A and B are shown apart, each in its own frame.
Chain A
Amino acid sequence: RKEVEQDPGPFNVPEGATVAFNCTYSNSASQSFFWYRQDCRKEPKLLMSVYSSGNEDGRFTAQLNRASQYISLLIRDSKLSDSATYLCVVGTGTASKLTFGTGTRLQVTL
Chain B
Amino acid sequence: GEEVAQTPKHLVRGEGQKAKLYCAPIKGHSYVFWYQQVLKNEFKFLISFQNENVFDETGMPKERFSAKCLPNSPCSLEIQATKLEDSAVYFCASSQGAGSSYNEQFFGPGTRLTVL
A-side residues, CB < 8 A to B, are 32, 34, 38, 41-46, 49, 85, 87, 91, 93-100, 102-103
Contact = CB atoms under 8 A, between A and B. Distances in A.
Interface residues of B, number: 32
Contact of A95 (B40, B41, B98, B107): B98
A97 B100 CA distance: 15
Nearest to B97: A95
A59 B105 CA distance: 22
A97 B56 contact: yes
Given A94-B97, A95-B95, A95-B98, A41 B104 contact: no
A87 B41 CA distance: 9
B95 A103 contact: no
Interface of B: 30-31, 33, 35, 37, 40-43, 45, 48, 50, 55-56, 58-59, 89, 91, 93, 95, 97-98, 100, 102-110
Contact of B31 (A34, A95, A99, A103): A95
Contact of B50 (A45, A95, A98): A95
